[in-house]
Amino acid sequence: MSDLIRVVDAEQATRNERKALGFWIYIMTDCVLFATLFATYAVLHGNVFGGPAGKDIFNLPFVLAETLILLTSSFTMGLATIMAAKGNRHQAYTWLAATFILGFSFLMMEISEFGSLIIDGNGPSRSAFLSSFFTLVGTHGLHITVGLLWILVMLWRFYKHGLKKQDLHRLSLLALFWHFLDVIWIFIFTIVYLMGSLS
């Protein structure tokens, strides 16, 4: 019997190792996806076709607030990971919940930004610039949504099962994903919003 436990433990360890590498590779393929969307934005951002340009519609303070919220959520995600590793279930749970609230606020702000643009008649079908803007930022938002769902599932697992070893591994992948989205957002903030508002 101990033989079996040893074999299963070893199997689980190697599986986690594979998952970590696989997840890194997935992140890389996602980078290629975003790179394609960034390239598209770079090509099309000038094609306003009589519609507004970036500087006409971007509300920089608003976006800065969005950015700070997302950056903070990355920080709280880091805290959650550390606390979980220490075995502090309550703290891990709290910080993960904080991450969710911050991420959710970010998403709501993005949705409200999109909403007001669409109401003003500057929706994604207005011009090539707006199509590429909505798609790039929206794809990031979609990733955030997936991340939020994932956080919910993790919260539920922690609530129901406590800090199981397998869940700690899952949390590390989730954290990786969340930080990755943060990095992507920094690029979006710089390339789309900052450079768009300046030019």
Partner 1 sequence: MTRVRVNRSRNIAIAIFLALVTVAIVALFVFLLAGKPIPVLETHGTIADQERTIIIITALLAAIVVVPVFAMLAIFAWRYRAGNSRAKYQPNMSGHRGLELLWWGIPCLIILVLGIITYVSTHNLDPYKQLPLAKGQTPVKVQVVALQWRWLFIYPGTQTASMNDLTIPVNTPIELSITADAPMNSFWIPALAGQVYAMSGMSTKLNLSADSVGTYNGVSSNISGSGFAAMSFKVHVVNSADYKSWVQQGAHSMSMLTYSDYEDIAKPSNDSTPRIYMLMDDNLFNDIINSYTSASPNQNGSMEMGN
Partner 2 sequence: MNNLREIIFGRLTWQAFQHDPIMGGAGVFMVVALLAIMGYVTYKHKWGWLWRNWFTSLDPKKIGAMYLIVAFIMLLRGLADALMMRGQQALASGANGYLSADHFQQVFTAHGSIMIFFVAMGIVFGVINLIVPLQIGARDVAFPKLNSISFWLFAAGMIIINAPLIAGEFSTAGWLAYPPLSELQYSPGVGVDYWIWSLQIAGIGSLISSINFVVTIFKMRAPGMTLMKMPIFVWSVLGSMVLVMFAFPILTATLGMLSLGRLLGMHFFTAGGGGDAMMYVNLIWAWGHPEVYILVLPAFGIFSEVVPVFSKKKLFGYTSMVWAIAIITLLSFTVWLHHFFTMGAGADVNTFFGIMTMIIAIPTGVKVFNWIFTMWRGRVQFTTAMWWFIAFVVSFTLGGVAGVMMSVPPADFQFHNSLFLVAHFHTMIIGGVVFGAFAGFNYWFPKFFGFKLNERIGRWSVFMWVLGFLLAFTPLYILGFMGATRRLDHYDASLGWQGLFIVAAVGVGLILVGIGLQLLQVGVSIWQRKQSLDTSGDPWDGRTLEWSLPNPPAEYNFAVIPTVTERDAFWVAKHNNAQPSTDYEPIVVPENSGLGAVVGSLALVFGLAIVWHIWWLVIVTLVGVILALIISLTRDEMYTVITTDEIKQIEAAREGAAA
Q: How far is the CB of 9 from partner 2 (least distance, A)?
A: 10
3-state secondary structure the chain: CHHHHHHHHHHHHHHHHHHHHHHHHHHHHHHHHHHHHHHHHHHHCCCCCCCCCHHHHCCHHHHHHHHHHHHHHHHHHHHHHHHHHHCCHHHHHHHHHHHHHHHHHHHHHHHHHHHHHHHCCCCCCCCHHHHHHHHHHHHHHHHHHHHHHHHHHHHHHHHHHCCCHHHHHHHHHHHHHHHHHHHHHHHHHHHHHHHHHHC
Helix axes 165-187, 128-161, angle to 10 degrees: 160
What value, to the nearest 5°, has the Cα angle with vertex 104 and ends 185 and 66?
A: 40
Nearer to partner 1 among residue 49 and residue 156 (C-beta): 49
Is 121 a binder of partner 1 (CB under 8 A)? no
Evaluate whether 176 touches 23 at the Cβ level (below 8 Å). yes
Partner whose binding site includes residue 112, from partner 2, partner 1, none (CB under 5 to 8 Å by kind): none
- Residues 162-191 touching partner 2, rule: CB under 8 A, are 166
Partner whose binding site includes residue 134, from partner 1, partner 2, none (CB under 5 to 8 Å by kind): partner 2
Partner whose binding site includes residue 186, from partner 2, partner 1, none (CB under 5 to 8 Å by kind): none
Q: How far is the CB of 71 from partner 2 (least distance, A)?
A: 26
Is 120 a binder of partner 2 (CB under 8 A)? no
Is 120 a binder of partner 1 (CB under 8 A)? no
Is 78 a binder of partner 2 (CB under 8 A)? no
| One of 84, 110, 127, 189 touching partner 2 (CB under 8 A) | 127
| Count of residues engaged in binding partner 2, rule: CB under 8 A | 42
| One of 49, 112, 161, 165 touching partner 1 (CB under 8 A) | 49
Residue ranges binding partner 1 (CB under 8 A) = 49-51
Residue ranges binding partner 2 (CB under 8 A) = 3-4, 7-8, 11-12, 14-15, 17-19, 21-22, 25-26, 28-30, 32-33, 36-37, 39-40, 43-44, 47-49, 124-125, 127-129, 131-132, 134-135, 149, 153, 157, 166
